[in-house]
Amino acid sequence: MGQIAFGGDYNPEQWPREVWAEDMRLMRGASVSMVSVGIFSWALVEPRDGEYDFGWFDEVMDNLSRNGIAASLATMTASPPPWLTRKYPEILPVLADGTRMWPGGRQAYCPSSPAFRAHATRLVRLIAERYRDHPALALWHIGNEYGCDTPACYCDLSAEAFRTWLRARYTTVDALNEAWSTKFWSQRYDDFAEVLPPRTVPAFNNPSQQLDFARFSSDEILGCLLAEKAVIRELTPNVPITTNFAGYSHALDLRRWAEELDVVSFDSYPEPFDPRAHVEAGLTYDVYRGARGGQPWLLMEQAPSAVNWRERNAAKEPGQMRLWSWQAVAQGADAIMYFQWRQSRGGAEKFHSAMVPHAGPDTDQHRDIVALGAELASVPEIVGSRPDNDVAVVLDWASWRALELDAHPSSDVQQLDALLAHYAPLFTANIACDVVSPADDLSSYRLVVVPNLYLVSATDAERLTDYVRGGGHLLMSFFSGIVDESDRVHLGGYPAPFRDVLGLRVDEFRPLDAGQVLPVELVGQTGGATLWSERITLEGAEVQGRFTDGSPALTRSEFGDGVAWYLATRPDPELLQTLSEHVAARAGVEPVLTGLPKGVQAARRGDFLFLLNHNPRPSTVDLDRPMTDLLSPGSAPAEHVELVARGVAVLR
């Protein structure tokens, strides 16, 4: 890809032929370089079992290549056609409470269904054979937003697949019993055949069973992708493969999935009503850039303006679509694409904004698209560049899933809240960071932040300990290091695997009531503590912050050549800002740029410095040396950058 790919989902099947010609003309005018095609075309290309109609799609592909537009070619299996689920009703997925899901929406299939998989791969083989040598084919787009609408299935087929998965994981049922602590509540299994998915139960489900079922469900959906990938690799070994993730959730283990892809892509829909939406979006971008070790990623879908699936769907403000697109590029995107090219006339997403709205191209919305397409096309040199960050934030899928199981000290402790709480002050301070797995090599970072790592293996705990021993700085929050991979408590006093490095023991969790705020003082500043407190016995750590009863709220432990901080509560944002900057400064971490006005984001990719004014008013930025704004082609290098409201500069 020689430039930042620009385009969107293209669904010409929804329109008569005369519109197709206009589409091509408009795409050229909008600098569109790539489109995703065929995502929901199964029912059209295979109208009956084993009968195919590819002619119209040939035409679409030919139109694209004739117009120099690359195809991100979908495998067309995102939703089974009605004839398929009528013929094999067992394909229809089932919820934990036994509710069968029906056709009429999308993604109504059980990922473990042999009938679904057989028909899907048969279709994919035909598609790959037909278009393997088509000049438009640039990227395989397997499925679509896997697990978004059907993150798990609890049917009998899924139960059988779950048992197969468990046999592979545990070999013996005794090992499963041990991992699942089934001596509790008379749950001992005498045979794998007795095991079921965690369907609706009286009281609480077995948490280890739930955790394994979450792992299984992610793996099982991945199995659908892998079945298609095998066909594709066989027939087109050199065409890269992606799938577009729907944001990120604990349903799919992104790190595991990313291993199977050549490039990561995903769909990003920040909430325009939220004045801090760009911070949460920035976190998502860093999560995805981290998924394959810093490799640039593709923004496969965003909305030109409003979406349609929220309760109230805000339109974007003027300039906001451009700003947020550039933010994605600044944080690693090599593609800016949309759902969708032309706004649907009917169906469930007809009120989702599009590159060509209902009123047609003679609209501000389309003109904004055209302008951005041209702008992105003007800076091909950005493609492939990467940041080089000193701070890592840890996120682990198994821990996330386990953290949010039932019957914990406080159900208010949620992974994404913790992650965002600790990410936001770094973002605000323009301290760029990577989101990493605890299994990654951390040695290159000056500071590693662990917002929460409830579940940790002995190996990962040792890696984090070694990181500090070797001179790293660690900031870890409460309720980390509590359980092992099977959700069994690490005995010996919380957090057993981190007691040495942190220099303390947590004697009792004291979660706070809903809305309760305790006064707290951290590194000399006072503020409010929320969600959690605990009773700590010091074992070498020094106190750096206290609750009003004098008990420790923040500790600092020198360990080996490094330093480990431990935070026993969730401070309010202002206080956590102070703390984060304090800890970062002591770790020798510097922001991307100092002295930035509030609300202006600075980001680096290779040689490029991006300035993003998230304020609805102009801002002036002082640079430390003269730089040139690539988006103002004729301009001279300057040490001051004037950013309009929601303005962007790409400097070099």
Within residues 276-335, the interface with a copy of itself by CB under 8 A covers 305-306, 308-309, 311-315
- Ligand-binding site membership of 144 (annotated): yes
519 binds a copy of itself (CB under 8 A): no
494 binds a copy of itself (CB under 8 A): yes
**What is the footprint of a copy of itself within residues 18-37 (CB under 8 A)?**
none
Write phi, then psi, for 171 (nearest 5 degrees): 65, -60
Q: What is the Rg, in whole angstroms, of the alpha carbon atoms belonging to the chain? A: 26
Determine the interface stretch with a copy of itself among 120-128, 134-142, 196-204, 464-472 (rule: CB under 8 A): 196-204
> Minimum Å distance from CB 630 to a copy of itself?
30
Please tell me the distance from the alpha carbon of residue 156 to that of residue 382, in angstroms, as a whole number. 50
Number of neighbours of residue 274 by Cβ within 10 angstroms: 12
350 binds a copy of itself (CB under 8 A): yes
543 binds a copy of itself (CB under 8 A): no
The three-point CA angle 121-33-281 to 5° equals 80
Spatial neighbors of 259 by CB under 8 A, at least 6 apart, are none
| Residue 317 annotated to the active site | no
Determine the interface stretch with a copy of itself among 121-129, 221-229, 279-287, 345-353 (rule: CB under 8 A): 345-353
**Among positions 226, 227, 512, 538, the unique one binding a copy of itself when judged by CB under 8 A:** 512
> Minimum Å distance from CB 311 to a copy of itself?
5
> Minimum Å distance from CB 274 to a copy of itself?
10
- Ligand-binding site membership of 309 (annotated): yes
Torsion of Cα atoms, 150 then 154 then 156 then 159, to 10°: 110
Q: Whose Cβ is closer to a copy of itself: residue 191's or residue 624's? A: 191
- Ligand-binding site membership of 153 (annotated): yes
- Ligand-binding site membership of 155 (annotated): yes
Task: Using the structure block, give the residue that is written with the tokens 């290091």.
Answer: 481
* CB neighbour class for 599 (10 Å; exposed up to 12, middle 13-18, buried from 19): middle
**What is the footprint of a copy of itself within residues 608-637 (CB under 8 A)?**
none
Spatial neighbors of 269 by CB under 8 A, at least 6 apart, are 247, 301, 302, 303, 307
Contact 147, 131 (CB under 8 A): no
> Minimum Å distance from CB 313 to a copy of itself?
5
> Minimum Å distance from CB 409 to a copy of itself?
5
Determine the interface stretch with a copy of itself among 237-245, 252-260, 340-348, 567-575 (rule: CB under 8 A): 340-348
217 binds a copy of itself (CB under 8 A): no
565 binds a copy of itself (CB under 8 A): no
**Which residue among 46, 228, 301, 581 is the active-site one?**
301
Q: Whose Cβ is closer to a copy of itself: residue 133's or residue 362's? A: 362
β-pairing, 433-436 with 447-450?
A: unpaired
Q: Whose Cβ is closer to a copy of itself: residue 102's or residue 260's? A: 102
370 binds a copy of itself (CB under 8 A): no
> Minimum Å distance from CB 5 to a copy of itself?
24
Please tell me the distance from the alpha carbon of residue 485 to that of residue 499, in angstroms, as a whole number. 18
Please tell me the distance from the alpha carbon of residue 415 to that of residue 568, in angstroms, as a whole number. 16
Please tell me the distance from the alpha carbon of residue 423 to that of residue 401, in angstroms, as a whole number. 19
Structure token digits, residue 184: 């509790």
Sheet order of strands, 333-338 included: 241-242, 137-141, 70-74, 34-37, 5-10, 333-338, 297-301, 265-267, 244-246
175 binds a copy of itself (CB under 8 A): no
Please tell me the distance from the alpha carbon of residue 370 to that of residue 356, in angstroms, as a whole number. 10
Give 54-103 as a 3 state SS string: CHHHHHHHHHHHHCCCEEEEECCCCCCCHHHHHHCHHHCCECCCCCECCC
| Residue 639 annotated to the active site | no
**What is the footprint of a copy of itself within residues 61-120 (CB under 8 A)?**
76, 78-83, 86, 93, 97-108
16 binds a copy of itself (CB under 8 A): no
Please tell me the distance from the alpha carbon of residue 194 to that of residue 33, in angstroms, as a whole number. 54
190 binds a copy of itself (CB under 8 A): yes
> Minimum Å distance from CB 483 to a copy of itself?
8
Q: Which residues are annotated as a binding site for substrate?
A: 106, 144, 309
Catalytic residue IDs: 145, 301
Q: Which residues are annotated as a binding site?
A: 106, 110, 144, 153, 155, 309
Q: Which residues are annotated as a binding site for Zn(2+)?
A: 110, 153, 155
